Amino acid sequence: MIWVIHTLNGVSFGILLFLLAAGLSLIYGLMKILNLTHGSYYLVGAYIGSTVIATTGSFILALIIAPLVVAVLGAVMERFFLRRFHLDELPQTLLTFGFLFIFADLSLWIWGGDPIMLPKPAMFSRSIDIGGLGYPTYRLLLIGVGLLVALILWWFQERTRVGAMLRAGVDDAEIARAMGIDVSLLFTLVFAVGALLAALGGVLGGPIIGAGPGTDFDVMLLAFVVVIIGGLGSLRGALVGGLVVGLLDNFGKIFFPEFALFTIFVPMAVILSFRPTGLFGRG
Amino acid sequence: MLTSVATTLGRSTRRRAIAGALACAAPLALVSSAGLAQQAPPLKIGVILPLSGNFTPAGEDALTGLKIYFDSINNEVAGRKIQLIVEDEQGKPDVALTKARKLVEGDKVQILTGFVSSAVALAVNGYAREKKIPMIVSADGGANELTMPGPLANPYLVRTSQNGRTPSAAAAEFVFKQGWRKVAAITSDYAGGFDTIGGFAQAFCRLGGTITQEQYPPLTTNDYGPYVTNIQRDADAVVTFLPGANGLKFANQFIELGVKDKIPLMDIFGQIAYEPYLKQLGANGVGIYSVLHYTPMIKTPENERFVKEYEARAKRLPSDNGPDAWVGAKAIAEAAKAVDGKVEDTDKFLAAFRTLKFDSPKGPIAFDKFGQVIQSMYVRKVEKVGNDYVNTPIQTFNNVDQFWPFSLADLEAYKYRYADLKGSMGDCKKVLEKK
């Protein structure tokens, strides 16, 4: 029964990784921007979530407000700053790097330097019995919400008009523009959605990973590993990559505790040596 | 590399703030000294603390404690103005060393103090020894070797905080006395973790207890779920040393996965039962045991006065770094007084320092001949008092020196160093093997 719990641990962490990585992957896929601010969206999302919970006591409100605020931040970043360097990779990356510091310092200023954990919603702060061992319902909730988000994203990408434009934009932005698709608006939208997903991860992951100075870098690193394994620009890759990393990390720590530092990076190196574009990436 | 740029930016703003504060303070100093015909030159103290990066809260605590004492004596001792020059080391040894050089060679400070991270304390140690500059470790920096005979011993170093081993030994005494004989240990995978759990293993083995499980999560662990799930459910107690955010992340999983309801938790050094975290853990934190050389709940006039002043300044309860730095500041002032302000006579100043004895917020204080503070160790239990969650002291070990409950000779006779014991902490025969 303990293995069921280990598996659930791995899956729930994997789902969280998916939420963190999906936005990064989307943004890169469409705009070829390596967004180093991605971890900051998580951090700011978690902090805003904690403030909302502290003032209103509602986890649901935090789950709505924090991602929306961060989505606006993302849209502003794209619209007024990154746009100036379209397809100019180095200035773009440096710009997002700069934003990372701005967000880190602002967070330190507003929320202080003490690490925080977000409180769990009261309804999901209990455990259920799995073969005599308690298992927190919050992690099950995380798995549920994560899969729901994956489903919505899939529907959005495959079944809606905007999704079709998005796919067209990923495949060839120039032609998409020539076909009359408003790529400019699409860029802003995707950037906002990417930021929104990371902030959602911040609120949902807050009770497990928490937030504090340096969490932005940690999360960015995790998101990059997942995206590299799954393949840049692929949502399916982010989901599978997240689950692969979550499970390998969990069982790696149980079976090879002395290599705990590398349980995430070794699979990445192995997969890259066989599939340089990641599991679902296109070359 | 990435973090280094991040914290540099953080620092520069902070530095401006400090420079501004100094600029405001300077005219005041001039005015007050104008009346005195022959004012002695100021006593310059270089303060090296992390004021940006992960260790920021500890650095700010220490700075507040230091200032509380110096302000209480109007920043003046033995006819000399006290001038603090604060430098942010960002939690990095290389930065700290650069700052130490700047303070000693540029600002001509007479004393260096502060030091939260052990790595930072070790980096500056060699330089301070070479320059014969008194180095007063008055914050967390707990590397055992700094105050033990050996290659790192520094005759110019005095520590007013704690060493790494002693709280572990007190934890072992307490755990054994509760009748808990088999414990599962979870410790961060780095030198400080091995020292802490090694110190525990040594004291615990000697009493007759055993560590039955060792887990070493990396400092960068995000999800503690796997480690908590893996804890042996038949252990009598879980013993941890998980510094920084790790303690909080672990505690949440420990509670969430339901292990806390079944097995008692001993948190060496109070990294989980850290005051800012207690508020977050709320009712779930009640019952966690920890060992540290301080708790804001100590009922003495010295401590009650200190806590009140601290809360007025920082709007929160002090961690151990506050009173550690307070003791450092008071000891500097008392020793300076004892040598009539002639701090430049380093040997005399340090000799006076080591003979000091006084009551502090953390209890009575003295020093041993190696420069390590002799103080009390408190076993604490998280309780709810009024609307607050606090660390209530439930047992006190008084006059604990750095070798307690061993003697220096005892400790030096053991064959293995703590780091060598990683993976075999449970093998008491090996832990206690003599040379």
pLDDT tens for each residue of B182-215: 999 999 988 888 989 999 999 999 999 999 999 9
Nearest CA in chain B to A3: B229
In a domain, A281, yes or no: no
Interchain CB contact of B248 with A (< 8 Å): yes
Query: Which of A83-87, A220-224, B241-245, B329-333 is modeled with the greatest confidence?
Result: B329-333
- pLDDT 10s digits, B412-431: 899 988 889 999 999 999 99
User: CB of B341 within 8 A of CB of B80?
Assistant: yes
In a domain, A280, yes or no: no
d(CA B379, CA B429): 28
Q: Which helix (H) or strand (E) holds A128?
A: strand A127-130
Instruction: Write down the pLDDT at residue B5.
Output: 37
- Which residues of chain A neighbour B230 with C-beta distances below 8 Å? 253-254
Task: Please indicate whether residue B104 or residue A87 has the higher confidence score (pLDDT).
Answer: B104
Instruction: Write down the pLDDT at residue B21.
Output: 45
Domain around A23: 2-274
Task: Please indicate whether residue B85 or residue B143 has the higher confidence score (pLDDT).
Answer: B85
Q: What is the mean pLDDT of residues B391-396?
A: 96
Q: Which helix (H) or strand (E) holds B184?
A: strand B182-187
Q: Which helix (H) or strand (E) holds A268?
A: helix A265-274
Nearest CA in chain B to A50: B280
Peptide bond into B301 cis (omega under 30): no
Question: Tokens 């800012």 map to which residue?
Answer: B276
- Which residues of chain A neighbour B6 with C-beta distances below 8 Å? 100-101, 104, 217
User: CB of A30 within 8 A of CB of A187?
Assistant: yes
Q: Give the sign of the dihedral formed by CA B226, CA B228, CA B233, CA B236.
A: positive
d(CA B278, CA A158): 47
Interchain CB contact of B99 with A (< 8 Å): no
d(CA B349, CA B335): 6
- How near does any CA of chain A get to the CA of B41, in Å? 37
Label the pairing between strands B135-137 and B157-159.
parallel
What confidence category does residue B38 fall into, taking pLDDT thresholds of 50, 70 and 90?
low
Interchain CB contact of B10 with A (< 8 Å): yes
Q: CB–CB of B280 and A5 under 8 A?
A: no
In a domain, A258, yes or no: yes
In a domain, A183, yes or no: yes
Q: What is the ipTM of this complex?
A: 0.83
Instruction: Write down the pLDDT at residue A135.
Output: 86
Name the residue among A188, A189, A219, A243 with its Cα closest to residue A45: A219
Region of B263 (left: φ > 0; alpha: ψ -120 to 50; beta: rest) is beta
What confidence category does residue B294 fall into, taking pLDDT thresholds of 50, 70 and 90?
very high
d(CA B94, CA B240): 29
Instruction: Write down the pLDDT at residue B24.
Output: 45
3-state secondary structure of B32: helix
The CATH number of residue A149's host domain is: 1.10.3470
Angle of helix A183-205 relative to helix A38-56, nearest 10 degrees, comes to: 60
Low-confidence ranges of chain A (pLDDT < 70): 282-283
Max intra-chain CA distance, chain B: 74
User: CB of A281 within 8 A of CB of A237?
Assistant: yes
pLDDT surpasses 50 at B28: no
Structural domains counted in chain A: 1
Confidence (pTM): 0.84
Instruction: Write down the pLDDT at residue A200.
Output: 96
d(CA B291, CA A129): 33
In a domain, A282, yes or no: no
Label the pairing between strands B358-360 and B363-367.
antiparallel
Q: What are phi and psi of B302, to 5 degrees?
A: -60, -45
pLDDT surpasses 70 at B9: no
Instruction: Write down the pLDDT at residue A196.
Output: 96
Instruction: Write down the pLDDT at residue B373.
Output: 96
d(CA B116, CA B52): 12
Instruction: Write down the pLDDT at residue B381.
Output: 97
In a domain, A158, yes or no: yes
Instruction: Write down the pLDDT at residue B154.
Output: 94
DSSP B231-273: S-TT-SEEEEE-TTHHHHHHHHHHHHTT-TTTS-EEEETTSSS
CA B116 to chain centre: 7
User: CB of B97 within 8 A of CB of B128?
Assistant: no
In a domain, A247, yes or no: yes
Instruction: Write down the pLDDT at residue B25.
Output: 45
Q: What is the mean pLDDT of residues B313-334?
A: 94
In a domain, A267, yes or no: yes
By CB neighbour count within 10 A (0-12 exposed, 13-18 middle, 19+ buried), where does B320 fall?
buried
What confidence category does residue B10 fall into, taking pLDDT thresholds of 50, 70 and 90?
very low
